[in-house]
Amino acid sequence: MTLLEVCVDTAEGLAAAIVGGADRVELCSVLELGGLTPYAGLMALAGRAPVPVRAMIRPRAGDFVFTAGDLEAMLGDVEAARQAGLAGVVLGASLPDGRLDIEKLERLVDEAGEMQKTLHRAIDLVPDIAEAVEQAIALGFDTILTSGRASSALEGIADLELAHNVADGRIAIMAGAGVNAATAPHILGRVPLAAMHGSCSEPVPPDSDVAQRLGFVSPTRRATSPDKVAALKAALAVH
């Protein structure tokens, strides 16, 4: 059966993913910016979850071309995830031309040690996805999260198939971006992927007028829906 990973960025989202039947959780903060490193208290809470949790290690929004200072912060966050008892980390780093930054990734993977490791969608910026899959395997990642270098996994299905074929069982290819109960069967009908990744979220009702006026509210904020998690889980169960 295809593994279901749900990305969350709050304690409530973590609980909703578990209730809905997620097999694994990607723990983040600020998902409306693509997911940043979760704060220490949330990692500690997730360390007691009944399902495996991997922490996103991304210190800022924007691209994945990280400075020496960014790298030092990320190394510290990997250690924080370990101390919290999380199963793994989600890593990525790019060179200015989009290729994987092997030097920085080697440092991060070395810091993660025996923790489980996902290469995140930095791979969707690479010029040659087949080469990047081989690099991820050589670095010691066990999973690659990718949309097939497209804005959604359904649009990137050709590259997902290529990545799956190159991986040849040596690393799990996990589709993400636009994955839900409606799209997952179409993706899996073309490529028998080992895992699928979704937010299973819905828009959050507006907060108080005062919070909005003072700029404390993100207009694109969403929250994990246990019903959507369950629906995606059910869609995966038939493949």
The count of domains in the chain is 1
Range of the domain at 137: 3-237
Task: State the helix-helix crossing angle for 68-83 and 102-112, rounded to 10 degrees.
Answer: 20
Q: Residue 174 class from Cβ within 10 Å (0-12 exposed, 13-18 middle, 19+ buried)? A: buried
In what helix (H) or strand (E) does residue 11 lie, and over which residues does it extend? Answer: helix 11-20
Q: How many CA atoms lie within 13 A of 210 on its CB side?
A: 0
Q: Whole-model pTM?
A: 0.95
Q: Tokens 């993100």 correspond to what residue? A: 218
Q: Tokens 């924007």 correspond to what residue? A: 62
Closest CA to 181 of 161, 162, 164, 201: 201
Question: In CATH, what number is assigned to the domain containing residue 73?
Answer: 3.20.20.380
pLDDT tens track, the chain, 239 positions: 899 999 999 999 999 999 999 999 999 999 999 999 999 999 999 999 999 999 999 999 999 999 999 999 999 999 999 999 999 999 999 999 999 999 999 999 999 999 999 999 999 999 999 999 999 999 999 999 999 999 999 999 999 999 999 999 999 999 999 999 999 999 999 999 999 999 999 988 766 667 676 667 777 788 999 999 999 999 999 87
